[in-house]
């Protein structure tokens, strides 16, 4: 029979799989679209090992909250403080003020172990902007530490007061947490990803495995352990940023990890493979590797004016493991080893930890107070200060637009209040013209709100909302129902979305904003093909609307995808150009959409209605027409909206 506290080298091997998957995912060294699921494996392992130790202490009458937190401190803080200190030093040296301010906020989140809430409040985990956040990965540490504030006393209470119901109570809590995750990805997907209570069930899955082994009811089964590894590998290979996380889909890596813990052994099957020395060696340094990888990758992206090469990221991956080995040997082990450990007594250990975290807290406060060292940076970089102001001014245009009048407004969802507003405006001004789609539709709506004379102009837009992969928070279904039941409320619908999500990558997977940003400016863009499934879903939906209200599809615009770092360093005197082959990809996509829409009731406005010359339509020394790689700034809305307006149906003009 397996026991939870027997050293199991295959568990270290499983750590190696998890950390390698996360590192490859963040570094884009190999195509591993579900590599982020390695964090879910870590959560289960953490819950398993912590619970096993606590159960042994409870059984022996040696349970101590103070001793528990001393162990956590020795495990987590020494390496974390070293990495945070080194990362902060580099951040101050290479970041511009806006980046450094955001870094200071994330550093404060780490000191307080609430970085999951800091990142959850900014944007989704899969946002391209967060690839340049050096401390993004620390959200998972905050989730664990918040969980372990409540779990040990809860387990002790259940063990002493309700020993026969301990498993049942924890199982019910896990089901409630999974239910919250299911609700969360449908309603608040960005927050749900980082939310402790949406993740608790994953740690409790490890707890359940430890409880079962503690009671000695499990016999090894190599076939079930192999199934578990297969479930994990499937998630790593076939899940992606389009997969709801956490959700029932997360049962694959979570359940797979639990199966290996319950049924795997180091002397047979996949357990024997995971127990091989190379896997174990990587597993031993996995925590330090996890800490180092994201700062290295983020700083590479920040300091490069172009997409970092695969060679560079592969080199940084090797550097990650080298730094991890050094940190494990000279930082982790001296604090954790049973004999001759540094600061062996609890009181000086807690004092040193408090001092280190206080120093980091002071640094974070200074970065926030000085707005990312803004004044000193401008004094040191007077030639770049004006360009930084252009970038910041352009970036202010991000976000949903404000209503210009009572009947010229943008919605993200349809509720009773907005339905009443639509009815009222239609009664006053006649049917609405509607701009529908994702964040690119926000740009078009904002441009028309400045230029159009339509008395009732309505946007129904949402970042990431596209018919082919619409989240439950998107309003497509409810809008289609409204159009079918009350078509007189609308006179014309214009649909707009980013073309990147109608393309397929070279690996055959669905496209994203990273299709072009991960290609260097001078490199040839592959001939990305249109995604037949996404195109079909789009036209099917629009044809559904067109059965009741005239509907027009606007060809996806050409997106420059030039990083702010490149603009800052190259300046306004540079002649910017699209990547070779980039324009041809959009042109081919436009032709595909024209052909596909010809067999429907949907009208189509081609790419020629949005002429774009990169040499003059990207920026001047007075303005930047793009708020980021693919969205218009306020000046861009005025410039490109004026070109587009004459090509739109008359009711929009």
Strand partners, 495: 436, 553
Q: Alpha helices of 35-64 — where are they, by DSSP H?
A: 38-60
- CA atoms of 18 and 38, how far apart (whole Å): 4
Longest distance between any two alpha carbons in the chain, whole Å: 82
- CA atoms of 107 and 119, how far apart (whole Å): 11
Provide the percentage of residues in the chain whose pLDDT is more than 70. Answer: 97
Look at 167-181, 226-240, 388-402, 538-552 and tell me which has the smallest mean pLDDT: 388-402
Higher local confidence (pLDDT), 379 or 122: 379
Residue pLDDT, tens place only, 176-193? 999 999 999 988 888 999
Mean pLDDT, residues 61-74: 92
Residue pLDDT, tens place only, 608-622? 999 999 989 999 999
**b/e per residue, 13-39, with b = 16+ CB within 10 A?**
bbbbbbbbbbbbbbbbbeebbbbbbbb
Collect all residues with Cβ–Cβ distance below 8 Å to 291 and sequence separation of at least 6: 79, 80, 83, 137, 324, 327
Nearest CA-CA partner of 280 in 5, 17, 25 = 17
Query: Do 205 and 47 contact (CB within 8 A), yes or no?
Result: yes
Structure tokens that stand for 368 in this block: 């926030």
At 401, the pLDDT band (50, 70, 90 cuts) reads: low
Q: Alpha helices of 239-329 — where are they, by DSSP H?
A: 251-263, 269-274, 277-284, 286-303, 310-327
pLDDT at position 552 over 80: yes
Number of H helices, E strands in the chain: 28, 6
Query: Do 637 and 496 contact (CB within 8 A), yes or no?
Result: no
Torsion of CA 148, 153, 156, 162, to 10 degrees: -110
Query: Do 498 and 439 contact (CB within 8 A), yes or no?
Result: yes
H/E element holding 228? helix 222-238
Query: Do 305 and 569 contact (CB within 8 A), yes or no?
Result: yes
At 491, the pLDDT band (50, 70, 90 cuts) reads: very high
393-652, what's its fold?
Rossmann fold (3.40.50)
Residue pLDDT, tens place only, 126-143? 666 788 899 999 999 999
pLDDT at position 167 over 70: yes
Query: Could you please report the per-residue DSSP string of 463-507?
Result: TT--GGG--TTS-HHHHHHHHHH-GGGEEEEEEE--GGGGBB-TT
Rounded to a whole number, what is the distance in angstroms from the first to the last CA of the chain?
Answer: 76
Collect all residues with Cβ–Cβ distance below 8 Å to 176 and sequence separation of at least 6: none
Q: Which part of the chain is CATH 3.40.50.1110?
A: 393-652
Q: What count of Cα atoms within 13 Å lies in the side-chain half-sphere of residue 494?
A: 29
Query: Could you please report the per-residue DSSP string of 501-568?
Result: GGBB-TTSPBP-THHHHTS-TTSPPP-PPB-HHHHHHHHHHHHHHHTTS-EEEEPPPP-----HHHHH
pLDDT of residue 592: 95
Per-residue CA distances from 261 to 11, 53, 235, 461 (Å) = 7, 15, 18, 45
pLDDT at position 117 over 90: yes
Asked if the peptide bond before residue 246 counts as cis, ω within 30 degrees of 0, the response is: yes
Mean pLDDT, residues 245-249: 95
Strand partners, 603: 552
Could you identify the residue written with the tokens 């940003």? 517
pLDDT of residue 403: 56
Residue pLDDT, tens place only, 403-443? 567 899 999 889 899 999 999 999 999 999 999 999 999 99
pLDDT at position 393 over 90: no
Per-residue CA distances from 193 to 121, 143, 196, 237, 479 (Å) = 11, 11, 9, 19, 27
């Amino acid at each position: 029979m397996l026991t939870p506290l027997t050293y199991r080298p295959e568990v270290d091997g499983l750590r190696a799989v998890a950390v390698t998957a996360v590192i490859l995912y963040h570094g884009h060294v190999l195509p591993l679209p579900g590599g982020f699921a390695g964090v879910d494996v870590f959560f289960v392992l953490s819950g398993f090992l912590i619970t096993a130790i606590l159960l042994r202490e409870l059984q022996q009458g040696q349970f101590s909250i103070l001793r528990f937190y001393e162990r956590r401190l020795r495990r987590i803080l020494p390496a974390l403080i070293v990495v945070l200190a080194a990362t902060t030093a580099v951040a101050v040296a290479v970041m511009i003020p806006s980046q450094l301010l955001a870094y200071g906020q994330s550093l404060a989140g780490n000191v307080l172990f609430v970085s999951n809430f800091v990142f959850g409040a900014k944007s989704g985990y899969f946002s391209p902007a967060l690839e340049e956040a050096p401390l993004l990965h620390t959200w998972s540490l905050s989730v664990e530490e918040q969980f372990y504030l409540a779990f040990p006393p809860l387990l002790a209470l259940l063990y002493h007061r309700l020993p026969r119901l301990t498993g049942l109570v924890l199982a019910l809590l896990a089901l409630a947490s999974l239910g919250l995750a299911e609700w969360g990805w449908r309603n608040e997907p960005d927050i749900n990803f980082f939310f402790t209570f949406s993740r608790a069930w994953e740690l409790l899955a490890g707890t359940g495995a430890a409880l079962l082994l503690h009671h000695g009811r499990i016999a090894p089964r190599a076939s079930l352990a192999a199934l578990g590894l297969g479930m994990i590998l499937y998630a790593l290979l076939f899940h992606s940023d389009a997969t709801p996380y956490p959700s029932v889909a997360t049962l694959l890596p979570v359940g797979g990890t639990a199966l290996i813990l319950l049924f795997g052994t180091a002397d047979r099957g996949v357990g024997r493979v995971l127990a091989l020395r190379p896997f174990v060696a990587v597993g031993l340094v996995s925590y330090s590797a996890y800490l180092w990888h994201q700062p290295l990758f983020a700083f590479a992206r920040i300091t490069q004016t172009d997409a970092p090469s695969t060679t560079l990221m592969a080199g940084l991956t090797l550097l990650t493991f080298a730094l991890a080995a050094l940190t494990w040997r000279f930082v982790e082990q001296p604090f954790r080893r049973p004999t001759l450990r540094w600061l062996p007594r609890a009181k000086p250990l807690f004092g040193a930890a408090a001092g280190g975290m206080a120093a980091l807290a002071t640094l974070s406060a200074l970065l926030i107070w000085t707005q990312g060292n803004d004044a000193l940076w401008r004094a040191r970089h007077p030639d770049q200060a004006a360009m930084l102001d252009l970038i910041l001014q352009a970036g202010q245009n991000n976000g949903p637009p404000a209503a210009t009048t009572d009947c010229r407004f943008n919605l993200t969802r349809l509720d009773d209040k907005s339905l009443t507003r639509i009815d009222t405006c239609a009664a006053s001004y006649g049917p609405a013209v509607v701009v529908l789609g994702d964040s690119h539709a926000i740009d078009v709506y904002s441009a028309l709100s400045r230029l159009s004379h339509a008395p009732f102009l309505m946007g129904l837009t949402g970042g990431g909302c596209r018919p082919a992969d619409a989240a439950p928070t998107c309003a497509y279904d409810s809008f289609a129902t409204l159009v079918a039941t009350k078509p007189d409320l609308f006179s014309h619908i214009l649909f707009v979305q980013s073309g990147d999500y109608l393309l397929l990558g070279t690996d055959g997977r669905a496209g994203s904003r990273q299709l072009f940003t991960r290609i260097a400016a001078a490199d040839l863009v592959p001939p990305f093909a249109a995604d037949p499934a996404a195109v079909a879903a789009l036209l099917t939906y629009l044809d559904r609307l067109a059965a009741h209200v005239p509907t027009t599809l606007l060809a996806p615009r050409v997106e420059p995808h030039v990083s702010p770092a490149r603009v800052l360093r190259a300046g306004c005197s540079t002649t910017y150009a699209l990547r070779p082959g980039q324009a041809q990809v959009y042109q081919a996509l436009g032709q595909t959409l024209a052909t596909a829409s010809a067999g429907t009731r949907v009208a189509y406005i081609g790419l020629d209605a949005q002429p774009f010359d990169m040499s003059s339509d990207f920026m001047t020394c007075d303005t930047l027409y793009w708020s980021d790689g693919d969205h218009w700034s306020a000046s861009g809305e005025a410039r490109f909206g004026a070109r587009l307006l004459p090509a739109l149906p008359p009711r929009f003009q």
